[in-house]
Amino acid sequence: MKFLAAIGAATLGLLAAVGRVTLYAAQTLGHLVRPPFYFRELAIALLHIGWLSLPVVGLTAVFTGGALALQIYAGGARFNAEAVVPQIVAIGMVRELGPVLVGLMIAARVTSSIAAEIATMKVTEQIDALVTLSTHPMKYLTVPRVLAATLVVPLLVAVGDVIGIAGGWAVATGTLGFNPAAYLKNTMNFLEVRDVVSSLAKGGVFGFIAALMGCYFGMNSGRGAQGVGRATKGSVEAAAILILAANFVLTGVFFSL
């Protein structure tokens, strides 16, 4: 009986958490379309989430693209299919690895940063101070970050896709003996509009999730340093899991239906 009660309590807890996050997301979207708008905070968020994430996104993508080319070449050699390296690198990077890796890197870099910053603001009464200064914390803190991430992560994904393919190209042409021009031609011919659209759409959704989780956990953090730590850890875990789940759903929507 106690076992069933524990399962029931855990289920209710999970449903309550899902409800709170859904409500928070709905409130964020509501504030997104209602003034006042804080354009300066949006610009700062675009800089932090977009521009300053470029090095980590670029490095992740270039190494992944290079490793992917090596793996496909080695795997393809087992059944004389080494020539498909450009096509598989392209489809692998654009459809899956580009958006997912960028999403996870953003979760690691941006979600944690947002959660820690907002949680610290909460612990030090800065959120209360915002309210007393007639400023809605959700409009001032959440909306600019969520909007910026939703707008800029697709661009980061596009950059990641290109750099990942370039990494594969560099390895394939530098060490595996592929013709540079033919590699690029095969890549371009193989990719479809749907591949690129799905990649960018995933980026938008992942950006929204990453920033939303950072803000949600930051705003709902507990007291003290431990509260900030828990909020940061929880935000990254939640963002990573939701990004991977959303990736599965979006892949199904774009490629299986």
Point out which residues bind other proteins (CB under 8 A).
Answer: 36, 38, 120-121, 124-126, 128-129, 131-135
Minimum CB distance to other proteins smaller for 27 or for 189:
27
Angle at 117 between CA 19 and CA 48, to 5 degrees: 100
Q: How far apart are CA 143 and CA 150, in angstroms?
A: 10
Minimum CB distance to other proteins smaller for 125 or for 192:
125
3-state helix, strand, coil in the chain (%, to 5): 90, 0, 10
| SS3 assignment, position 257 | coil
Minimum CB distance to other proteins smaller for 132 or for 256:
132
Q: How far is the CB of 205 from other proteins (least distance, A)?
A: 28
Q: In the chain, where do the E strands start and end?
A: none
Minimum CB distance to other proteins smaller for 118 or for 149:
118
Contact 37, 148 (CB under 8 A): no
Minimum CB distance to other proteins smaller for 128 or for 192:
128
Q: Which of 55, 220, 50 is nearest to 123 (CA)?
A: 220
Minimum CB distance to other proteins smaller for 116 or for 212:
116
Q: How far is the CB of 132 from other proteins (least distance, A)?
A: 5
| SS3 assignment, position 200 | helix
Q: How far is the CB of 228 from other proteins (least distance, A)?
A: 13
Cα dihedral 219, 225, 230, 235 in deg (nearest 10)? 50
Q: How far apart are CA 218 and CA 28, in angstroms?
A: 14
Q: How far is the CB of 36 from other proteins (least distance, A)?
A: 7
Report the 10 Å Cβ neighbour count for 227: 16
Element (H, E) at 4: helix 2-32
Q: How far is the CB of 51 from other proteins (least distance, A)?
A: 17
Q: How far is the CB of 30 from other proteins (least distance, A)?
A: 16
Q: Which of 151, 150, 139, 147 is nearest to 27 (CA)?
A: 139
Q: How far is the CB of 124 from other proteins (least distance, A)?
A: 6
Minimum CB distance to other proteins smaller for 134 or for 256:
134
